Structure 1
Amino acid sequence: MAMELKLSTNLKMSQKLVMTPMLQQAIKLLPLARLELAQQVRQEITENPVLEEIIEEDELQDETETDEEAEIAEPKENFEVIDEKNKGEEHTLENPDMDWDTYFQDNIDRGSSAENYTEQPTIETTHQKEPSLQEHLLWQLNLSVDNDRMSFIGSCIIGNINADGYLNANINDIGEISHADESEVLTVLKIIQEFEPLGVGARSLQECLKIQAQADENCTPLVLKLIENYLDRLEERYLAKVSSELNVRIESILEAIKKIKRYNPKPGQTFNSERIDYVVPDIFVIKTENGYDVTLNDDGIPRLRISPYYQNLLKNSAKGETKDYLEEKHKSALWFLKSIDQRRQTIHKVGK
């Protein structure tokens, strides 16, 4: 039996979900952490001139101007829904997809700002890089010495100070590295040992405590004597013998030991560069009189708006490359603003 081949035309109707660019952008923004979102927002401000950050003074001025404007149409909230009446119309300021000036004010169930409840630290404060021990010592060295030779010797010494604040290298080794005499190295080391934190640059625990004791106005001669001669014998079982040798009452020795315990045996630890970066939440759950309420944490995330300058420029510019460019950036800015607000609504609803 012969097979017959022929061409035919069929009409088929089907429904499928299409990912619009605006929906794709909203999905990309949704899983971002607060820091990542803040970086994305600042990058968008850099790339899109139509977007600008809202400053408090500008926000107060805009609120005054908004009160004087006429009523504006109700905004749309669905990504996929397209108004068939305006489908063939061009996207311009005279015929926008939605009114973004009132969208964020009229949109319900988006939560209140956490600033109404507690004052949160700024992102610059929470993520500020603390200076290391070496950086702090070099800064003090530059203020203390006035010639390059002593500065170089001091940098060699500071480079050999460990995280606890102790000098790990020998004086002779530092002298060979810096091409200096032992007396010069000791002179500079003496200067460094007067820096903050007290006790830094010491070569032993005894020297570290002695430096701090000499700088203490309330230090007694007994404290210095215990540090210099009896530091390894300050346990309770040796106190009677130490009291007999010094011809001092045990009570006085106990008071001196209390002062020694106040000194820091590891002064460099106060400038430990390893710090804990705590996770900053996207929402806060706050107890109220009626139960619990969920608020959004917008601290550190720039607040955006469409630049009035570029709005007027787009409205008054003639058709051409400039107008096409502004319309493209204006539409991209609207998408970005709505994606951010959609993210806020989603997080608030999930948290609630």
Structure 2
Amino acid sequence: MMDLKAGLWQQQTLKLAMTQELSQAIALLQYSAQELSAFLEEKALENPLLKIENVNIKPMNPLMDRNRRNHQKSEKDWIEQIADKPFSMEEYLLSQLKITNLTAQQMKVIRHLIKNLDENGYFKGELIEISQNMRVEHDVVDECLAIIQTLEPAGIGARDLQECLLMQCYYKNPNNELAQTILSNYFIPFAEKKWKPIAKELGASMKDLQDVFDEIQQLNPKPGALLRNEPTTYIIPDAIVEQTIEGLTVRMFDESLPRVRFNDSYYQKFQNQNKQVSRFLHDKVQDYQWILKSIEQRKETLTKVVAKIVEKQPAFFQKGSQYLVPMTMKEIASELDVHESTVSRAVREKYVQTPIGTYPLKTFFTSTIQTLTDEESTSSTQVKNEIQSLVAEENKQKPLSDQEMVEQLKLQKGILVSRRTVAKYREQLGIPSSSKRKRFV
């Protein structure tokens, strides 16, 4: 029988409380450089003691800038001074029309139809609905869409992929009746490479169908994408790995981050005010100090993680990505004596510039694949590279099945993987199945 009595006992436990400061430090660690900059700008609005200096923005000296511009202008070729004003899809298409041959009504409808093209150049509107809304005969709307479909790039204004490819095929070679018949009447089975019944019905050879397939492969399924003039995006690395005489070195690249400064003039001006103001300043001083500490902790943790990656992946940085060895976040966390989630946050949205290119830090973490020898292992990236090599070197008339690749990896490289794993990696690489890779030439 249990003796249940009420009483008071003391018990000592160790517990980590999620304070606001700790939460802030965790958040800053996972922020990308852009997110951190936005966070600091926001904090500067809340805390008058926190002053932001954008070091990448230099003050303007009108005299020096004018002299520099004049000097640069004289060195440039005249053609480089033409303004780079990109055309929109609408402007580009309208510029091809022979306006003198079109009525005002047709131009109005064409403009409206062009606004219904998606970013890939496909027409996504409903002709009947547009006809009713614009109070225009359906035949006129249909004719206007046909006019758009005669413009370049070929395939623009198509209502689906089948029509898009058919339009391009006719534009490229109007005499290729076999290709046009296949795209018109056998689109799905042809794409699935169910060619034997198609060849039998059309009285064509498998080689003829292979030629049509090769020709269709050269067409563009997204013609509108050719008209997108998007600005080039640049990746600013968070860390830089360099090869020196002493070996591989790591340095953090924080020039793009704004500098945090203490607004001493504001503090001196208001520090001797009443208690309420003093309490406000005290809180803001603590907030400023916590932000500085969090930024320094972020930099320190990120430096340690990158340095450890370099230590464990020297061949990658010196020879190339094919030498990436298996490595997990848990392994790095264990060696740095931190939690795995800390490593995960540290590498999130971070990039490293290396002698062989700029990579996301997550690139270096791969799963381990077993090999025939217990002493060695390989990474999933290496296995994918081997699969690509096998497909590149295979007999295209008798492509390797997933099971045959399993056996080849085992015999040639000593890599043990399942057929399911090979199929998953093959799909991730965008490699079709063996039946769809087969050629009839």
| Length-normalised TM-score, structure 2 | 0.36
Higher normalized contact order (CA 8 Å, seq sep 6+, divided by chain length): 1
What is the TM-score with the length of structure 1 in the denominator? 0.45
Larger Cα Rg: Structure 1 or Structure 2? 1
